[in-house]
Amino acid sequence: MEALRSARGSADLLALAVLFKRVKNITKEFVPTKSTREVAPHLKEPSELALHAEFDQRWTRISEALRREQYLDAVREIVAFRQPVDRFFTDVMVMVDDPVVREARLTLLSGLKETILRFADIGELAIDDSAGKSGSS
C-alpha cells in the first residue's frame, strides 16, 4: 500500500478519513437491500445528488484502477470524494423520519463505504494521525 503511504500526508485524504469514520459509524447497522441506482430517484437535495453523481462516476474508475493494481490512481479517485462527502454531511440529515429517504441516503453511504473499503479502511488513518500528533507533542 505504498500509494496510501505516499498520500497519507495529504490534507484532503486525512479530512476524508475523518468523514469516512462518520460514514462507517452511521451505516454500521444498515444492510442495503437496493443498489445506489435503485434509490437514486429518492435523492433530491443538491449535495446528495452531487455525491451520487461522484459515486456513480468514480466507482468504475476506482474499480478499474484496483483491477490494474494502479493504487495511486485509486487513491486519487478516493480523495476526490472529500468535498462531496463533506457537503453531504453539512447539508443533509441522514436519519430523517421518512423511511424511503433515509434508506436512499444510507444506501448511498453504504455504497461509498464498500467501494472505499475495497482499497483500504481509510477511517483508520484518522485514528493513526491523531495518535501520532498526540505522541509527538
> Do 113 and 20 contact (CB within 8 A), yes or no?
yes
Return mean pLDDT, the chain.
85
Domain ranges in the chain are 2-131
Instruction: Name the residue with cell 493494481.
Output: 69
| pTM (2 d.p.) | 0.82
> Do 3 and 71 contact (CB within 8 A), yes or no?
yes
State the DSSP code for 7: H
Nearest Cα to 106, choosing from 119, 93, 116, 117?
A: 93
Residue type, 27: T
Phi then psi dihedrals of residue 21, to 5 deg: -60, -40
57-112: per-residue pLDDT in tens?
Answer: 999 999 999 999 998 888 888 888 889 999 999 999 999 999 999 999 999 999 99
Architecture of the 2-131 domain? Orthogonal Bundle (1.10)
Using pLDDT thresholds of 50, 70 and 90, give the confidence band for residue 16.
Answer: confident
